[in-house]
Amino acid sequence: MPTHPEFTQDLHRQRLVAIVRGSDPEAALRSVLTLAEEGVRLIEISLNTPGAETVIARAVEEAGADAVIGAGTVITREDALRARDAGAQWMVTPALDKGFDHAIALGVPVLAGALTPTEAVAAMRAGAVAVKLFPASLGGPAYLRALRDPMPDVPFVPVGGVDAEAADAYFRAGAIAVGVGSPLLGDAPSGGDLAQLRRRAKAFQTVCAVGADV
């Protein structure tokens, strides 16, 4: 089973997964390219963004080596296939469902959505590169810390309600990275202010750099 060492290294080094979800395909693409310009390398484009496949394909082409473009909200077999066909370099699932199974079968790195200890162990055994702890806000950093006590080797990436302050707390609780949507993107993927997106990107990267020393 592939281990995807390059992607795993990026996850450990970057410590930030940007989640792009919006109502305007062109604005979503501009947000992706702005993040890449600011040094945010791991960028997930949710498949429930209108025109997501086109956004993914154009982002892969236009961002080039500056970003590793993934597809999020991979729920079904069809989702996994259209993400692959669009050029997604990794995939994210909200749960251990058919989308997860087929993403694994396609041989791409997969962040698997899980909440319970049983789900986390099942995800890693099935070949996930990391566990997307979702929704992380349900238990917060204390829940992550409790999970890591019996499972210190499982790489957890909390997603859901993670702002800059929470990101710091999750790193202290043992997260290898955090996945951030609206606290980072704001309304940029729907046509909002890219200057503010740049400011937030810098703020999150500062937190992630400090988190690497925890």
132 has catalytic annotation: yes
**Which of 83, 113, 122, 77 lies closest to 98, judged by CA?**
77
Distance CA 174, CA 61 (A): 34
Expressed in angstroms, the distance from the first to the final Cα of the chain is 31
Catalytic pick among 37, 61, 132, 202: 132
Tell me if 112 sits within 8 A of 132, measured CB to CB: yes
3-state secondary structure of 201: helix
Yes or no: say if 103 and 73 are a contact pair by the CB < 8 Å rule.
no
Residue that the structure tokens 């995800």 belong to: 123
- In one-letter notation, the amino acid at residue 159 is V
Which member of 26, 37, 38, 44 is catalytic?
44
Residue 44 annotated as catalytic: yes
Residues in contact with 111: Cβ distance below 8 Å, sequence separation at least 6, in sequence order: 17, 70, 90, 91, 92, 93, 128, 129, 130, 131, 132, 157, 179
Residues identified as active-site: 44, 132
